[in-house]
Structure 1
Amino acid sequence: MKLQIVPASRGSQWVKLGIRTFFKQPLALAGMFFMFMATMSILSMVPFIGSALALAFMPAATLGLMAASQQATEGKFPMPLMLFSAFRAGRPQTQAMLVLGALYALGFLGTMGLTALVDGGQLAKLYLLGGAFNAETLQEPNFQIALLLFLALYMPLSLMFWHAPALVHWHGVSPVKSLFFSLVACMRNFWAFTVFGLVWMAVFLAVGMLVATMGALWGSADATAALLFPAILLIAAMFFTSLYFTYSDSFDLSTTGDTP
């Protein structure tokens, strides 16, 4: 396994490949994404530890969606059980993925906990206990600072876990090493990931504007809301489909070993 450096323009190609691959198997990939969302929702309903369980499942679920994308690129129909691929690859990989999930939950909740030092726990309560953002809360200076702090702290956390599930599952890299290798790979391909993020932002905004325009033409706010939610979910499914290509281009998959 060798680290590969790609040009910035590759970021837009990852988006195109994700969208193109999604439309090769739209029913399978959309269905798997909705199953992922449903599983996360069910886990979050478990009393007391629901939020932590849902967070701990995130790395394994991300790996499952990446495995489904890999199969779609090969012209295969991904089966629903692909979502749980991380737990079907043998005991060592399963244990490593569980450790990775626990680390992600701890990192996310720790990051959320730090924001409580700024806003008294408002942001943490909204996430952990549920609820909707209202205009009054969003206008509070402490809440805004807490939100910015969370985004600043979550960015490096997300980069550490970006490739980690794939490295643990397909290369047998230990959880701690996978976090380091993932962060290094993302930073070395910083501009490609920047373009990747900007293009996806543009896609989400374009879809939102298109749905809003259609709703305005129909003169119905209910129609806009009815269209916007499934449209955003489909774009999110395409985004998760594209994650596989960020991984496959960042590492030389023809080589073996756990040291980039």
Structure 2
Amino acid sequence: MKLQILPARTGAQWVREGLRAFFRQPLAMAGLFFMFMAALSLAAFVPLIGGLLALVLVPALTVGLMAATREIEAGKFPMPLTLFVALRADAPARRPMLLLGLLYAVAVLLVMAASALIDGGNFAQLYVNGGGITPELVTDPQFRVAMWASTLLYLPISIAFWHAPALVHWHGVTPVKSLFFSLVAVLKNTRAFLLYGALWMAVSVGVAMVLLVITAISGSAAVASAGLLPAALMVAAMFFSSLWFTFRDSFAVSPPDDSPSLPV
């Protein structure tokens, strides 16, 4: 397995391919993303360990969405069980994925603990339990600092876990090594990932603008309130449809000779 060094324009290619994959099977990908969210929500309801369990499942279920995109790319229809492909593997293959999930959960909980030191746990409680952001929270300077601090602390976690689930599942890389390889792969291709992120932000803003225009034309604020959540979920489903392509292009079995090697 070798790391690919990619030009910046690859970020735009990932977005295009993600959108193309989603619209080839929109109902399947939207349905799988809904199942992804529903599975995490159900896991969170488990007494005592629900929040931890939901976080542990994130890497495994993310692999499921990537596997679904992979099937669409191959001209197949992704079935519902595709979402659980990493959890349905035999025990020797499943254990590293669950260990990776545990590492992810610990990392996120440490970020939440750090934010609690800033605002007394308001942001952490909102993140874990959900709910709306009240005007009081928005005007609370400690809450804003906790939110931005959590975002900055989560960024290296996101980079380290970006490719890690796929490396563990498809290449049998150990969890700790997968985090290192993922970190290196993203940092080596920073320009491509920056363009990729900027374009997904543009897609999100574009969808929001369309919603605002429809609201202005209809003259009813109910249109915006009713369409905001479905629009956000649709964009999220499109985004997850592109994750497979970022992994596929970042690593190769037989890359050019000048590509850096990543020993498994």
TM-score computed with the length of structure 2 as normaliser: 0.95
Instruction: Give the C-alpha shift of residue 140 in structure 1.
Output: 1.4
Q: CA deviation at 1:244?
A: 0.4
Query: Equivalent pairs: percent with the same residue?
Result: 54
Q: Distance in 1 between matches of 2:45 and 2:89?
A: 28
Are the equivalent residues in 2 in contact too, given 1:11–1:195 (CA < 8 A)? yes
User: Would you say the 8 A contact 2:44–2:53 is kept in 1?
Assistant: yes
Match of 1:225 in 2: 225
Aligned equivalent of 1:259: 263
Residue of structure 1 equivalent to 2:108 = 108
- For 2:232 and 2:201, locate their aligned partners in 1 and report how far apart those are by CA, in whole Å: 12
2:258 maps to which residue? Answer: none
Kept in 2: contact 1:24–1:75 (CA 8 A): no
Counterpart amino acid of residue 198 in structure 2: L
| 1:96 match | 96
8 Å CA contact 1:11, 1:192 repeated in 2: yes
Residue 258 of structure 1 deviates from its aligned partner by 6.3
Return structure 1 stretches of 4+ with deviation > 3 angstroms: none
The 3-state SS of whatever aligns with 1:86 is coil
Cα distance in 2 for partners of 1:161, 1:124 equals 21
Look up the match of 1:149: 149
Structure 1 partner of 2:9: 9
**1:63-142 counterparts in 2 under 5 A?**
63-142=63-142
CA RMSD of aligned residues (A): 1.4
Q: Distance in 1 between matches of 2:126 and 2:227?
A: 26
AA partner of residue 259 (structure 1): P
Residue type of the alignment partner of 2:218: W
Unaligned runs of 5+ in 1: none
Once residues 131 and 224 of structure 1 are traced to their aligned partners in structure 2, the CA distance between those partners, rounded to angstroms, is: 19
Deviation of 1:48 (Å): 2.4
> 2:32 maps to what in 1?
32
Deviation at 1:47, TM superposition (A): 2.3
2:14 aligned partner, one-letter code: W
Query: What is the CA deviation profile of residues 190-222 of structure 1, one whole-angstrom value per residue up to 9, with x for unaligned ones?
Result: 110000000000000110110111011111111
Cα pair 1:167 1:173 within 8 Å, conserved: yes
Deviates more, 1:16-25 or 1:225-234: 225-234
